[in-house]
Chains A and B, each alone.
Chain A
Amino acid sequence: MRTLSVILTATTLAAALPATFAGDITGKITLKGTPPANPEVKDLAADVNCGKLVTEKVFMPFYVVGSGGELADVFVTIKDMSGKSTGASAEPAVIDQKGCQYHPYVSAMQTKQTLLVKNSDPLLHNVNITPTPGSGNKPANQAQLQGGPDLKFTFDAPEKFMRFKCDVHGWMFAYVCVVDHPFFAVSGKDGTFKIKDVPLGKYTIEATHRKAGTVTKEVEVKDGAANLDLTFEVK
C-alpha cells in the first residue's frame, strides 16, 4: 500500500513537471496606422487557366489586417535561440498551391523538418526555392504536374523568409521561415500567436513582418505562461 502511494505520487509529479518548468507564450499582434492597399493580382484573372479557377478578385497578401488592426503573417520567435531543433521528429509542415496561389503566404518550420508542397490545382506549377545567398540552404526548382505527388524538402540552416515561387505563374510566391529550435509561431488572421512549451526564463521575443519591419520585446515565462502583445506601426 505504501509502495503504491509512492508510485502514484511520483507519477503525478512527473506529469506536472513540464507544466512546472515550461510555459506557453501567447499574445496578439496589431498594426497601428493605415497600411498601403494590397495591389490586385490582375495577371491571375487574365491567365487563361488560372482565371477559370478563381472568380473573385485576388490581392497580394502584403498586409492582412483585421477590423481591429489584427496583423496576420507575423513570424514570431525567440531571439538568439539556436541549436535545439526537433525538426527531424516533427510532423511535416505543409504548403498548398490552390487557385494558383500559395497557401499559406507565410509559414515557419524547423531545420531538418520535412516540408510538403502540394499541388491542388488541375494544372502544373514549378516550385522554385530561392534561399538567400550564403544562408546555407540550397536552391531547388522542381516541376509539379497536376495530380502529381507532394514534393518534399528539408533545410539545414535557419533562414528568415525563404522564398518559394512559381515561374509559370509569376504572381505566385510565398515565404517560409526556418529556425533551428521549436519556439516559433506565425500570427493568424486574428493577430494571435502561441509559442508552446518554452522553458521558464527571460527571453527577447522578435516579431518580423515582411513589410512592417521587426519589433522586439522582453518577456518572462513563469508560472506556466506568459502573455505579451506586440504593435507594429506604419506611417
Chain B
Amino acid sequence: MTPTTEPRGLQRFAVLTAVATLFLISVGGMVTSHGAGMAVPDWPNTYGYNMFFFPFSSWIGGIFYEHSHRLAGSFVGLLTLIQAAWFYGKRSRPVLKWIGAALLLGGIVVALTSPKQWQDAVVIHASGAVALAAGFFWPRSEPQPLWLRRLALLALGLVILQGVLGGLRVTLFKDEIGIFHATLAQLFFVLAGALALFTSRTWRRTGEEAKPCPHATNLRSLYAAVSALVLVQLILGATMRHQHAGLAVPDFPLAYGKLWPATDAAAVAGYNRARLETTAMNDITSTQIVVHMAHRLTAVAVALAIGACWWLTRRKLAAGHPLRRATCLWLALVLAQFTLGAWTVWSNKAADVATLHVVIGALTLLTGAMLTLLAFRCLPRFRELPEALQISPQSQRI
C-alpha cells in the first residue's frame, strides 16, 4: 500500500510558510522605514561575500535590516520550494534528484572557473547535496489535486520573481521596482494564506456544512470588491513609501494646517525648505502630496466599506456563522490600521510604527481575501463549480 503524507502536516507547513511570509514583510518594512534599501550596494552578494558568509560583525546600521531581509527572503523561498515539492508528493523525487545533480555540477564549474568565488561554490554544492539527498528520501505521498499543485508552483515562481525584483531594485537604482516589489509581496502573502486555507480542515468543513443563503451573491461580491479596495490602498501606501521622501504631509488630520494642502510650486518649495530632516530624504513633490491625500481618503473609504461588510454580514447571516467572526476580525484590523496611520504621521514616521502599519495592512488584505474565499466556499453557489475544485487526497490527473 502506498504510504500517504499526513494532510495535517502539509497544512501546518503551509501555515508556517504564510507566517514566515508575514515576518518577511515586516523585515522588508523595516528596511524601507529605515531608508536602508541601498545599504548593500551589490546583489546577490553582500559586500563581495556570498550572503550566507557575510560576517555578523559587519551587520551594522542599515546593513542589518537589508541583509536580514535578504536572508529572510531566502528562508521563505526555501519554505515555498519545500511546500511545492510536498504538494507534488512522490513526483518530486526525480525532480529533486535532477536539480541536485545540476547544482552539484554547477558548484564544480564555479569552483574551477572562479576560484575567488569559492563561497558561492560551497553554497551551490551544499544546496545540490541536500536536493539530491531529498530526492532519495522524499516521502512517497500522493500528489495534491492539480489546481493546488499549480498554485504551489505559482507561489514558487512568485517568490523567485520577488527575489529578482528586490535585487534589480538595488542594481538598477529604480524606486519604481520597489513599489512593484512591495505590492507583489502582499499578493504572495495572500497566495500563501490561500494555500494554508485550502489545505485546512476549516476549508473542508465549510464546504460540507454549507447551507443555502439568499444573500450569497451580494456578500461574495461585496467581500471581493472591498478586498480589491484594500489592495488599492496598499498600492497607494507602497507608492508613498518607495518615493523615499518621508512624510509628504506632516500633520493629521489636517494637511499643512488645511483640509487640502496647497500643491503649487511655491508652496511645495516652501514645504521642502521648512522641513528639517535628520535622514536623507528626497524632496517632497506635489504628486507625492496628492498620493498621500488619496491614501488618507481611501483609508476612510476602506474603513467604511469594511464596516458595511461587518454590518451586512451580521444582518444576513445567522449568529455563530464563521463569516460573522471573520468580519469582526476584519473590522478590528481596519480600525487598528486607521489608528496606526494617524500615529505614523504624529510620530514623524517612526520606523517601528510605520512598519507595524505595513504589517497590519497585510493582515487586513489577507483577512479580506480569506473571507472572500470562504464566502465562495460556504455559500451554496460554490457547489455549482466543477468537482475538480473541491479538495481531495487523491490526485486528479497524471
State which residues 149-186 of B face A: CB under 8 Å.
170, 173
Whether B173 pairs with A49 at a CB distance below 8 angstroms is no
**Number of B residues with CB within 8 Å of any CB on chain A:** 28
Contact between B276 and A167, CB atoms less than 8 A apart? no
Task: Using CB atoms, name the residue of chain A closest to B279.
Answer: A170
Quick one: closest B residue to A145, CB to CB? B47
Instruction: Check B61 for interface membership: any CB of A closer than 8 A.
Output: yes
Q: Which residues of A contact B34 (CB under 8 A)?
A: 170
Whether A143 touches B36, Cβ cut-off 8 Å, given contacts A38-B276, A124-B60, A211-B273, is no
Q: Are B47 and A167 in contact (CB under 8 A)?
A: no
Residue among B40, B41, B66 facing the most chain A CB atoms (10 A cut-off): B41
Q: Say whether B278 contacts A39, CB under 8 Å.
A: yes
Q: Which residue of B lies closest to A163 (CB)?
A: B280
CA distance A235 to B142 in the complex (A): 75
Among B63, B173, B278, max chain A CB count under 10 A is at: B278
Interface string of A106-147 (1 = CB under 8 A from B): 000000000000000001101010100000000101110100
Q: Is the C-beta of B111 less than 8 angstroms from some C-beta in chain A?
A: no
- A200 CA to B355 CA, complexed, in Å: 58
B41 touches A142 (CB 8 A): yes
Known: A126-B38, A141-B38, A143-B41. A48 touches B60 (CB 8 A): yes
A170 and B280 contacting across the interface, CB-CB below 8 Å: yes
Indicate if the CB atoms of A49 and B60 lie closer than 8 Å: yes
With a cutoff of 8 Å between Cβ atoms, the chain B residues found around residue A145 in the complex are: 47
B276–A165 CB distance below 8 A? no
* Known contacts A124-B47, A142-B41, A170-B35; A39/B276 CB under 8 A: yes
A-B contact count (CB 8 A): 80
A158 to chain B, nearest CB (A): 18
The answer to whether A141 touches B173 (Cβ under 8 A) is: yes
How far, in Å, is B61 (CB) from chain A's closest CB? Answer: 4
- A171 at interface, CB cutoff 8 A: yes
* A183 close to B (CB within 8 Å): no
Q: Are A62 and B276 in contact (CB under 8 A)?
A: yes
CB pair B276 A36 closer than 8 Å: yes
Q: Is B218 an interface residue (CB 8 A)?
A: no
Instruction: Report the separation of the CA atoms of residues A142 and B42 in the bound assembly, to the nearest whole angstrom.
Output: 8
Residues of B within 8 A of A167 (CB): 35-39, 62, 66
Which residues of A sit under 8 angstroms from B58, Cβ to Cβ? 124
Majority DSSP secondary structure for residues of A touching B: loop
Is the beta-carbon distance between A212 and B273 smaller than 8 angstroms? yes
Which of the residues B48, B273, B278, B282 comes within 8 Å of A43, measured between beta carbons? B278
Q: Mark B250-279, 1 if CB is under 8 A from A, else 0.
A: 000000000000000000010001101111
Q: How large is the interface on A (under 10, 10 to 19, 20 to 34, 35 or more residues)?
A: 35 or more
A13 to B277, CA, bound (A): 54
Which of B37, B62, B278 contacts A41 (CB under 8 A)? B278
How far does the alpha carbon of A62 sit from the alpha carbon of B281 in the complex, in Å? Answer: 14
For A168, the chain B residues whose CB sits under 8 A away are 36, 39, 60-63
Q: How far is the CA of A47 from the CA of B278 in the complex (A)?
A: 14
Instruction: Tell me the nearest residue of chain A to B42, going by C-beta.
Output: A143
Quick check: A128 and B38 within 8 Å, CB to CB?
yes
Alpha-carbon distance between A169 and B170 when the two chains are bound, in angstroms: 17
- With a cutoff of 8 Å between Cβ atoms, the chain B residues found around residue A50 in the complex are 61
Interface residues of A in 188-235 (CB under 8 A from B): 210-213
Q: Which of B39, B63, B273, B277 has the most CB of A within 10 A?
A: B39
How many angstroms from the CA of A142 to the CA of B171 in the assembled complex? 11
Q: Does A94 contact B (CB under 8 A)?
A: no
The CA-CA distance from A144 to B246 in the complex, in Å, is 26
User: B387 → chain A, closest Cβ, in Å?
Assistant: 54
Rounded to whole angstroms, the CA-CA distance of A124 and B39 in the bound complex is 11
Interface bits B59-79 vs A (CB < 8 Å: 1, else 0):
011110010000000000000
Cβ of A75 under 8 Å from chain B: no
A173 within 8 A of B: yes
Q: Among the listed A38, A123, A143, A172, which residue makes an inter-chain contact with B60, where contact means beta carbons less than 8 Å apart? A: A123
Given known A47-B61, A168-B62, contact A60–B278 (CB-CB < 8 A): yes
- Chain A 171-191 interface mask (CB, 8 Å, partner B; 1/0): 111000000000000000000
Query: What residues of B have a CB within 8 angstroms of the CB of A43 in the complex?
Result: 278-279
Closest to A100 in B: B61
Q: In the assembly, what is the distance between CA of A163 and CA of B47, in Å?
A: 22
Point out the residues of chain B lying under 8 angstroms from A49, CB to CB. Answer: 60-61
- Residues A170 and B276 in contact in the complex (CB < 8 Å), given A124-B47, A141-B41: no
When distances are taken between beta carbons in the complex, the residues of chain A under 8 Å from B42 are 143
**A40 to B276 alpha-carbon distance, docked (Å):** 10
Q: CB-defined interface of A4-30 with B at 8 Å, one 1/0 digit per residue?
A: 000000000000000000000000000
Interface residues of B in 17-44 (CB under 8 A from A): 34-42
How long is the Cα–Cα vector from A50 to B279 in the complex, in angstroms?
Answer: 15
- Closest 7 pairs between A and B when the two form their complex, measured CB to CB: A167-B39, A173-B280, A165-B280, A168-B61, A170-B279, A139-B173, A141-B41
A: which residues have CB within 8 A of B?
36, 38-43, 47-50, 60, 62, 123-124, 126, 128, 130, 139, 141-143, 145, 163, 165, 167-173, 210-213
Interface residues of B (CB under 8 A from A): 34-42, 47-48, 58, 60-63, 66, 170, 173, 269, 273-274, 276-280, 282
Instruction: Name 20 A/B residue pairs within 8 A (Cβ), A-sorted.
Output: A41-B278, A49-B60, A60-B276, A123-B60, A126-B38, A126-B40, A128-B41, A130-B173, A143-B48, A167-B36, A167-B38, A168-B60, A170-B34, A170-B35, A170-B279, A171-B280, A173-B280, A210-B273, A211-B273, A213-B273
Known contacts A124-B58, A163-B280; 7 additional CB pairs below 8 A are: A47-B61, A62-B276, A124-B60, A126-B39, A130-B282, A167-B38, A167-B62
